[in-house]
Amino acid sequence: MYPKNGRVIFHVDMNSFYASVEMAYDPSLKGKPLAIAGNPEERRGIIVTCSYEARSFGVKTTMPLWEAKKLCPQLIIKTPNFERYRAASSGMFDILRQFSDLVEPVSIDEGYVDITESKDLGSPLFIAETIQKRILEQLDLPCSIGIAPNKFLAKMASDMKKPMGITILRKRDVSRILWPLDVGEMHGVGKKTAEKLDSIGIRTIADLAGSNEIQLKALLGINGARLRERANGVDSRPVDPESIYDFKSIGNSTTLPRDIANQQELLKVLDKLADQVEARMKRKQVVSTILGITIRYKDRKTINRSHKLDNPAGRKEEIVEAAKALFIKNWNGNPVRLLGITVTGLMEAESAVKQLDLFSYEQEAEKEHLVQTVSKLKEKFGKSIIGRASSHLNQQGIRKSSGNDTSFNKDFLQNKKQD
């Protein structure tokens, strides 16, 4: 049951987490189409998550609430309760740590567990069944578990049976089970990457596994070689409980041509710095969860201040808004010699998960009328009547930057190692 050389890794993925937590809190909601969204009284907002019963009607995450209600008139709407979700998440990870010290949280509702040294607790399948049963009995929450020799295969396996599934995926099963799938179904391959791969004839995971590494690197950079390895079932990443705190950074600073005390001039400098930071983030295809600024005064006294973002940011508008607010809050009015912006808490933009929080779902709701108007235009004149300007530029052979609107909620770490 345990390999002589190698590891046994679980990926534990909670099923329809926010909705499931609400059902555990109020059992009368079980078996009913339920969605978590904002402003249900005004039929405004965005679906944060929904139950499997709601999904059977076509309701999906990030769908405008008005559209979800159109698909499922009997849909029950609850507003998010993140204190409740954080408590459930904490309980889930506490259970996982009963089986191994090697538990790596990935988000509020999923994580990896290395049970290689847990042989005395039973077979991998027995441990997975015990974890699943314990989470259900103690928290009244369903989960799916993938069992594999590495993190990538464990993640792929956990997605195969939902809800309440347990799937074993061995490396020898890769060619039979994974290779026939569309490359877009592979973990780590987002929509944009799938489109790029399609442009060179890579449409299935098998195509990716057998692709030319040099061609991939030219197309996707270092990520191309990494994806090719994963398509062949290779992933050497360890399960690291501390990895979630290993924040790398991207930053830009500038020494001003003269000491400046005019606020408007200083804000313009921050605007230019945000441009540079955004460009570097796009090249690396990452988003940030923490933003910091550096202010050095005429007397060379230097202060550094950082702020955890409500949702990960990658666009200049998000970066400069946070930077300006942080600057205004901390600048003492004295002449400034140097300014800098640094982003940390980086994650891959393609794999970031959109889990809207109490702030962002309201912002998304503001777009509702626009979404509704566009939807009506498409119904009347066809889907191609309106598209993104970036798509039009791409058709003309103009390379666009890899902007990203996805968000990822890591506020379950608020009591961890975080400023």
CATH of the domain at 196: 1.10.150.20
Instruction: Could you list the residues known to form a binding site, using ranges.
Output: 13, 109
How is residue 1 written in tokens?
A: 């049951």
Q: Please tell me which residue in 22, 104, 110, 318 is annotated as part of the active site.
A: 110
> Of 331, 348, 365, which marks where a domain is finished?
348
Q: Which of 348, 377, 398 is the last residue of a domain?
A: 348
Q: Tell which of 348, 374, 408 closes a domain.
A: 348
pLDDT of residue 322: 94
Residue from 100, 99, 39 nearest 65 by CA: 39
Residue 97 domain-assigned?
no
Query: Is the pTM for the entire model greater than 0.85?
Result: no
Same-domain check for residues 256 and 281: yes
pLDDT at 284: 77
Measured CA angle at 134 (ends 129, 140), to 5 deg: 120
Cis peptide before 163 (omega within 30 of 0): yes
* Cross-strand bridge partners of residue 78: 36
pLDDT for 299: 87
- Gap between the Cα atoms of 414 and 419, Å rounded: 9
341 lies in the same domain as 260: yes
Q: Could you tell me if 216 and 265 lie in one domain?
A: no
Report the side by side order of strands in the sheet with 47-50.
47-50, 34-37, 76-78
* 87 occurs within a structural domain: no
- Containing domain of residue 220, as a range? 175-231
Domain identity same for 273 and 194? no
Count of domains observed in the chain: 2
Query: Is there a single domain that holds both residue 263 and residue 218?
Result: no
Residue 322 forms part of a structural domain: yes
Quick one: 262 and 193 in the same domain? no
Residue stretches of the annotated binding site for Mg(2+): 13, 109
Q: Which two tokens stand for residue 96?
A: 């996982």
Q: Does a structural domain hold residue 320? A: yes
Q: Is 104 inside a domain boundary?
A: no
Residue 344 included in any domain? yes
Same domain, 266 and 332: yes
- Tens of pLDDT along the chain (419 residues) come to 788 889 999 999 999 999 999 999 999 999 999 999 866 554 557 888 999 999 999 999 888 888 999 999 999 999 888 889 989 999 999 999 999 999 998 888 999 999 999 999 999 999 999 999 999 999 999 999 999 999 999 999 999 999 999 999 999 999 999 999 999 999 999 888 999 999 999 999 999 999 999 999 999 988 899 999 999 999 999 998 876 655 467 889 998 989 999 999 999 999 999 999 998 888 877 888 899 999 999 888 889 999 888 778 888 999 999 999 999 999 999 999 999 999 988 877 655 544 444 444 445 444 445 545 555 555 555 544 554 443 333 333 333 333 322 233 343 444 333 33
Q: Give a yes or no: residue 2 inside a domain.
A: no
What is the CATH classification number for the domain harbouring 287?
3.30.1490.100
- 110 counts as catalytic: yes
